[in-house]
Amino acid sequence: MGMSSDGVPNGDKVTIRMLTDMTSGVASYTFDEAWLDTYLTEPTTVWTPDELLEAGLGQPPNFEPGERFEYSNTNTVLLGKVIEEVTGRPFTEVLDQQILEPLQLTHTSFPAGDEIPDPHPRGFTLQGTPDDSFEPLDATDWSPTFGWTAGQMISTVDDLLVWGRALGTGQGILDTEESVIRLTSFPGELGYGLAMGCVDGWVGHTGELPGFNTSVFYDTTSDTTVITTVNSDVPTGDCAVSKTLPDNPKELDCMAPATRIFVAISEALGHPFSPPPLS
């Protein structure tokens, strides 16, 4: 892996590519019951990357490395550690030098605490609410440190429009060879490649912190970038696992709010996006 694999289940077999395309089998710390209980009952807790890894790597792997796809935040935190190991510098410095400064993303940040630049919306969630309560919680000030390199970032729609196109084309941050490697990394029609998904020519990613939900996708067929940001992570539709509001329309497929809005926009643009099913 280019770093010590001690403590990583199957660490001698897990590659950096497997961490990036989510086929490592390493369990996500977000499914560790003790970690989740602390996070939902004490949401302002500040986490270190090592604490996140302890929760993730303490669980048995879900499958043999390379066997199948399963999204795991532990993979992305491990990648952050790899970046620091290889460069000898803090991740935030590498992020600034290689991504934010070249693309001039001046309103995008990696917050150390729960501060959000003003002006900003309040974010609402049903995560952490009692089973019999459907009153959303204001999660704006919950600590984003639970994400580290798996999502501890703040941005604006204007910056994300620049980022979405760079993500889809590599322009401004990658050379041609690296861009081709990324854009040919998708297995099959509904594929997840090197840290991004591809559905019928739409490439990009969604992001979620309790209270906030974002979709960033680039249409390779028309050079169009679509960003949707919503100050709620409450899904709608026929959701088996995720909690929904009482007036939830069950006849719809289960979707996060930013994804549902993006699907409607994509249909209006004449190139419909069909997301993979949400549990």
Taking residues 241-256, what's their average pLDDT? Answer: 95
Q: What is the pTM of this model?
A: 0.94
Q: 3 pLDDT band (50/70/90 cuts)?
A: very low
**3 or 207: which leads in pLDDT:** 207
- Can you list the alpha helix ranges (DSSP code H) found in 7-144? 16-20, 33-41, 49-57, 73-87, 91-95
128-154 pLDDT tens trace: 999 999 999 999 999 999 999 999 999
> What CATH class has 115-279?
alpha beta
Predicted local confidence at residue 189, as pLDDT: 62
Residue 194 has pLDDT above 50, yes or no: yes
43-101 pLDDT tens trace: 999 999 999 999 999 999 999 999 999 999 999 999 999 999 999 999 999 999 999 99
Predicted local confidence at residue 2, as pLDDT: 37
| Type of residue found at 144 | P
Predicted local confidence at residue 115, as pLDDT: 81
Rg (CA), the chain: 18
Residue 8 has pLDDT above 90, yes or no: yes
Distance CA 47, CA 179 (A): 33
Q: 1 pLDDT band (50/70/90 cuts)?
A: very low
For the chain, what are the domain ranges?
A: 1-88, 115-279
Taking residues 149-172, what's their average pLDDT? Answer: 97
CB contact set of 188 (below 8 Å; sequence gap of 6+): none
Distance CA 154, CA 132 (A): 32
Taking residues 196-210, what's their average pLDDT? Answer: 95
Distance CA 136, CA 247 (A): 13
Taking residues 184-202, what's their average pLDDT? Answer: 89
**2 or 269: which leads in pLDDT:** 269
Distance CA 87, CA 25 (A): 26
Taking residues 171-194, what's their average pLDDT? Answer: 91
Average pLDDT across the chain, whole number:
94
Predicted local confidence at residue 7, as pLDDT: 85
Predicted local confidence at residue 6, as pLDDT: 65
